[in-house]
Amino acid sequence: MGYSGQAFSLRGEKSRYVLPPAFRKPVTESSGGRILCIAKHERWNCLTGFGLSRRGELEIQIDREEERALRLGRDFDRDLRAMQLYGFSQLPFDASGRFVMPDHLTELGCLEKGVFFQGAGSFFMLWSPVELYKMGEGWEPAQAACRQLEIENETKGKKA
């Protein structure tokens, strides 16, 4: 299951967002239904999204990270890492992709009026434009796409 591309969703009433079609179909197929998994990214001020099938990869990821840490002589807290990876929220969404973002995730993702979706292979990122624009070198393509999509969505919102 791979996630690619970019999209944008304005925050609606009651903290509702829309999971874009390009991400909705893979999440639905991965979850065997309309369940979106969201967690805080471990390093950046954004969230990650994925379908339930990724659960099966998490233990393998922890094993790989632990092995690497041992090989490099670094400390590794397996319990902390498991809590970080398995601490995702499962959010239902309707056929149109609408879902309610819980307040704790809105706060963790620094989300205000909109969210930028960026595909990243086995997951996708949900960015506050403000936080994405703070990222340094290498983020220019995502920042440019976010700027364009943010303008397009704000323009649509004003016409509605």
Q: Give the pLDDT confidence of 72-93 residue by residue, as tens digits.
A: 999 999 999 898 888 899 999 9
Other Cβ atoms less than 10 A from the Cβ of 58: the count is 15
Q: Give the pLDDT confidence of 45-71 residue by residue, as tens digits.
A: 999 999 988 888 888 999 999 999 999
Instruction: Check residue 159 and give its pLDDT.
Output: 58
17 close to 98: Cβ distance less than 8 angstroms: yes
Instruction: Check residue 157 and give its pLDDT.
Output: 60
Angle between helices 78-86 and 55-71 (to 10 degrees): 150
Q: What is the CATH number of the domain that holds 144?
A: 3.40.1550.20
Instruction: Quote the DSSP letter at residue 86.
Output: H
Mean pLDDT of 118-144: 95
1 vs 154, residue with greater confidence: 154
62 close to 79: Cβ distance less than 8 angstroms: no
Angstrom distance (rounded) from CA 126 to CA 117: 5
Tell me whether residue 69 is in a domain: yes
* Longest pairwise C-alpha distance within the chain: 58
By three-state DSSP, how is residue 15 classified? helix
Tell me whether residue 29 is in a domain: yes
Instruction: Check residue 37 and give its pLDDT.
Output: 95
Q: Tell me the residue range of the domain where 122 lies.
A: 6-159
Instruction: Check residue 96 and give its pLDDT.
Output: 93
Instruction: Check residue 64 and give its pLDDT.
Output: 94
Tell me whether residue 1 is in a domain: no
pTM across the whole model = 0.87
Angstrom distance (rounded) from CA 46 to CA 68: 25
Give the count of domains, the chain. Answer: 1
Instruction: Check residue 1 and give its pLDDT.
Output: 64
